[in-house]
Amino acid sequence: EVQLQASGGGLVQTGGSLRLSCAASGFTSDEYAIGWFRQAPGKEREAVSCLNTRDGSTNYADSVTGRFTISRDNAKNLVYLQMNNLKAEDTAVYFCAVDGISPWCGNFYYLPRFNFWGRGTLVTVSS
């Protein structure tokens, strides 16, 4: 059974940092794309970052480039999203999701390709 669970959200002040974790298990293949996404109140869900588990390459949305870092701990089956210099506009529920078919992250903005989703974790950035 495929399971994804995001955690690590919380309340942080502007300029602060948080690290989100995504526990991923149950995949039959070791090669897939795993991404972080977020949905702010009243807005559509959007892509934040993606990691290609085949070659380790990463992609980021322009809004988080230079501030967020996606990484993976293979031994623990965890994927992290390190978020630094947080801004009020980063406030959202954050989700991790997997495309179990292709590890390529080039079109990670296309959310329907991600067929496994976990529950989200709330990040609130106060000014």
* pLDDT tens digits along 4-21: 999 999 999 999 999 999
Rg (CA), the chain: 13
Mean pLDDT of the chain: 95
Buried b (16+ CB within 10 A) or exposed e, 44-76: ebebbbbbbbeeeebbbbeebeeebebebeeee
CA 18, CA 118: separation in Å to the nearest integer? 19
Confidence of residue 86 (pLDDT cuts 50, 70, 90): very high
* pLDDT tens digits along 11-69: 999 999 999 999 988 887 789 999 999 999 999 999 999 999 999 999 999 999 999 99
Confidence of residue 75 (pLDDT cuts 50, 70, 90): confident
